[in-house]
């Protein structure tokens, strides 16, 4: 069923389309460069996920060869060593049985290690890519961190250390919206691996990463909510200027266009 699994190619197309929209609206900004880097990462991710999911025949052949060698050694010992169960037990017999049990334990541990070696190698590669996505998510969060939704109100004294921003009203909402979209795409890119690898550690790591992106997006939408409320306040009462107790009425609010679908 096409809608019961993620299509990596469609995720790449969505990422590229979002990057193009950001380039047309916020060309030259750091967030646009992040979206372009995320597009490259998404294109690499599809091939990397398929490559990681392929069987690693060298590791499997080593495991099978070790298993055959172990079974051959056990068969040789059983075939050549003769134990006299009729006579009284001796110290040599106890030593031989103990050595045989130790051999079985070592062979079992070696077989278990080699059989799980392929899974651990795949897990390492996936977790490495998820850590890169986690870094990209934090970079996206840093870009929205300095965007203050209260800057348009001009309430109180201006702080010299306050970050300067030329984005206000609707443009600021679109910028924050793009940040949330990029975070959502990073979560989908991490989920691609779950289509190819069913490993509990990978599943837990992807779930943790999606929780992280969800929390970061929640902070962004809190700012968007403040901007929406601010737009309603300005449209009804005007805007407050520092050092001025009077309210200057506004003819219209830039936030009136917040919910227009941006498909440019």
Q: What is the pLDDT of residue 237?
A: 42
3-state DSSP call for residue 31?
helix
- The C-alpha atoms of residue 31 and residue 141 are separated, in whole angstroms, by 10
Measured distance CA(212)–CA(33) in Å, rounded: 22
Encode pLDDT of 163-219 as tens digits.
566 777 788 888 889 999 999 999 999 998 888 888 899 999 999 999 999 999 998
pLDDT of residue 236: 44
Cα separation of 42 and 214, whole Å? 19
- For residue 240, what is the enclosing H or E element? strand 239-240
Give the CA angle between residues 13, 19, 20 to the nearest 5°: 90
56 — pLDDT class (breaks 50, 70, 90): confident
What secondary structure letter does DSSP report for 157? Answer: P
State the Cα–Cα distance between residues 54 and 229, nearest whole angstrom: 51
Q: What is the C-alpha to C-alpha distance for residues 82 and 65, in angstroms, rounded to an integer? A: 27
pLDDT reading at 96 higher than 80: no
Contact between residue 239 and residue 248 where contact means Cβ atoms under 8 Å apart: yes
Closest C-alpha among 62, 64, 65, 75 to residue 104: 75
pTM, two decimal places:
0.71
Q: Which two tokens stand for residue 165?
A: 């921003």
Q: Give the mean pLDDT of the chain.
A: 77
Higher pLDDT, 87 or 216: 216
Q: Model confidence over 207-261: pLDDT tens digits?
A: 999 999 999 999 888 888 887 776 644 444 444 444 444 434 433 444 444 444 4
136 band by pLDDT with thresholds 50, 70 and 90: very high
Please report how many Cα atoms fall inside a 13 Å half-sphere around the Cα of residue 16, on the Cβ side.
10
């Amino acid at each position: 069923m096409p809608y019961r699994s993620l299509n990596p190619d469609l995720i790449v197309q969505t990422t590229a389309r979002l990057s193009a929209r950001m380039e047309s609206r916020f060309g030259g900004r750091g967030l646009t460069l992040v979206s372009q880097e995320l597009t490259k990462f998404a294109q690499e991710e599809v091939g990397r996920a398929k490559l990681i999911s392929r069987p690693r025949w060298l590791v499997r052949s080593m495991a099978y060869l070790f298993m055959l060698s172990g079974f051959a050694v056990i068969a040789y010992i059983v075939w050549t060593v003769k134990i006299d169960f009729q006579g009284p037990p001796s110290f040599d017999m106890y030593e031989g049985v103990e050595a045989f049990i130790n051999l079985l334990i070592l062979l079992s541990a070696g077989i278990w290690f080699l059989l799980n070696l392929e899974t651990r190698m795949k897990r390492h590669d996936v977790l490495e890519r998820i850590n890169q996505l986690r870094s990209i998510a934090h970079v996206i969060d840093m870009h929205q961190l300095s965007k203050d939704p209260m800057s348009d109100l001009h309430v109180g004294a201006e702080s010299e250390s306050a970050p300067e921003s030329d984005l206000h009203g609707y443009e600021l909402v679109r910028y924050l919206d793009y940040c949330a979209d990029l975070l959502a795409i990073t979560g989908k890119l991490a989920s691609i691996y779950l289509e190819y690898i069913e490993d509990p550690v990978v599943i837990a790591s992807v779930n943790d990463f999606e929780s992280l992106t969800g929390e970061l997006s929640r902070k962004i939408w809190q700012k968007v909510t403040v901007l929406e409320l601010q737009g309603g306040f300005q449209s009804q009462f005007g805007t407050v200027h520092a050092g001025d107790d009077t309210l200057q009425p506004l003819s219209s609010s830039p936030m009136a266009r917040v919910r227009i679908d941006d498909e440019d």
